[in-house]
């Protein structure tokens, strides 16, 4: 090809991809005007109705509480922080769903529900017990699916086979708590597992075609910004289906509270967390569903930061920062793709002589 035609190819490339750094219209339309792939939108598109999660707490524990891998639990964890209001020990799945669905119907006009096994490790038990509890939830009127929160070291093959069997007949998310991809952090918070267990659990779950959502906490003092922002590339490579982001916050009656009150570390301010969350979103593949961008617990249990209590305010700030940057989930992925294509064209140009 003559050199002038090669230059024409570069110009044609720029004509085609010159607008690639603007928010793509097809994503704006698909995401309902949001700049990320929100779980709410996915639920509305799937069920054509208002769908809300209903928390369920059963008598599970965790392997870093009962001594199997450690004792004391995660340093940041107090399960009272995500125990449904009105819960009392001994309540059945049905009783909790009766109470929870009625409250959410009144508050959010919800029409359908996902039973969310949330507190502790919800696959840490005999398969017969798990199946009984999961099926009791699915039998409840209005429940259209399950979300099962667990640890990557608590999903043996027989449990995954059970979950995969249920997923063939209902809408189901397996939520794996990674919290950090860095083993030094997982040790610091007493998780009792490392990245290797997570990679193995994801591989076996994806082999069974399960939807996998990963829980992450941003802001551990053991990690730099650069280390935190290594995580999206890992999730993209693993083809994770969903992500929950949670700012590190301090809850009463935890080991983390003692460390924090000693002055050993500082928490992110809201502005810094918002900037980091947007940086994270920019690096995350647009196919990944965003289940959560910030976390909060009951006001009476929160030690710090105060700003995390205002969840709506944090979400609004993230939306505003995305708009200010004219950015969106996956923008950095798109930039790398375009730059790679441009380099390919330019290399081809330089390789040709008149």
> 30 in a domain, yes or no?
no
Which domain range does residue 71 map to? 35-323
Give domain status of residue 94, yes or no.
yes
Task: Note whether residue 63 is domain-resident.
Answer: yes
- Let me know: does 13 contact 342? Beta carbons within 8 Å: yes
Give how many domains the chain has, as a whole number.
Answer: 2
Q: Is residue 174 part of a domain?
A: yes
Q: Can you give the pLDDT of all 354 residues of the chain as single tens digits?
A: 444 444 444 444 444 444 557 899 999 999 998 999 999 999 999 999 999 999 999 989 999 999 999 999 999 999 777 777 777 888 999 999 999 999 999 999 999 999 999 999 999 999 999 999 999 999 999 999 999 999 999 999 999 999 999 999 999 999 999 999 999 999 999 999 999 999 999 999 999 999 999 999 999 999 999 999 999 999 999 999 999 999 999 999 999 999 999 999 999 999 999 999 999 999 999 999 999 999 888 889 999 999 999 999 999 999 999 999 999 999 999 877 655 544 544 444 444 333
CA–CA separation, 37 vs 325, rounded Å?
17
Q: Exposed e or buried b for every residue in 214-243, given b needs 16+ CB within 10 A?
A: bbbbbbbeebeeeebbebbebbbeeebbbb
Shared domain check, 333 and 268: no
296 in the same domain as 263:
yes
Q: Is 313 inside a domain boundary?
A: yes
- Residues 282 and 332 placed together within one structural domain of the fold: no
For the chain, how many residues are written? 354
CATH number at residue 221: 3.20.20.70
């Amino acid at each position: 090809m003559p050199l002038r035609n090669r230059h024409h190819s570069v110009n044609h490339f720029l004509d085609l991809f010159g607008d690639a750094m603007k928010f793509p219209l097809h994503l704006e339309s698909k995401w309902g005007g949001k700049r990320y792939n929100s779980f709410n939108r996915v639920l509305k598109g799937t069920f054509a109705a208002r769908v809300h999660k209903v928390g369920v707490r059963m008598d599970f524990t965790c392997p870093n509480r009962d001594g199997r891998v450690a004792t004391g639990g995660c340093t940041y964890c107090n399960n009272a922080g995500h125990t449904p209001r009105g819960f009392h020990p001994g309540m059945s799945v049905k009783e909790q769903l009766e109470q929870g669905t009625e409250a959410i119907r009144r508050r959010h006009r919800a029409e359908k529900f996902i039973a969310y096994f949330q507190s502790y490790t919800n696959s840490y038990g005999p398969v017969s017990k798990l199946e009984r509890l999961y099926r009791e939830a699915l039998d409840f009127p209005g429940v259209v699916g399950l979300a099962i929160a667990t640890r990557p070291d608590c999903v043996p093959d027989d449990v995954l086979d059970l979950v995969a069997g249920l997923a063939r007949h209902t809408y189901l998310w397996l939520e794996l708590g990674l919290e950090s991809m860095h083993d030094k952090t997982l040790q610091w918070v007493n998780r009792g597992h490392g990245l290797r267990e997570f990679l193995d659990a994801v591989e076996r779950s994806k082999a069974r075609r399960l939807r996998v959502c990963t829980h992450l906490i941003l802001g551990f003092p053991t990690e730099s910004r650069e280390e935190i922002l290594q995580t999206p590339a890992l999730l993209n490579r693993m083809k994770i289906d969903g992500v929950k982001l949670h700012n590190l916050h301090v809850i009463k009656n935890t080991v983390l509270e003692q460390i924090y009150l000693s002055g050993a570390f500082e928490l992110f301010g809201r502005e810094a967390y918002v900037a980091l969350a947007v940086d994270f979103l920019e690096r995350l593949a647009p196919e990944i569903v965003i289940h959560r961008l910030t976390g909060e617990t009951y006001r009476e249990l929160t030690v710090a930061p105060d700003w995390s209590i205002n969840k709506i305010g944090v979400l609004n700030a993230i939306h505003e920062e995305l708009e200010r940057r004219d950015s969106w989930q996956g923008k950095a992925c798109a930039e790398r793709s375009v730059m790679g294509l441009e380099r390919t064209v330019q290399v081809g140009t330089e390789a040709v002589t008149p």
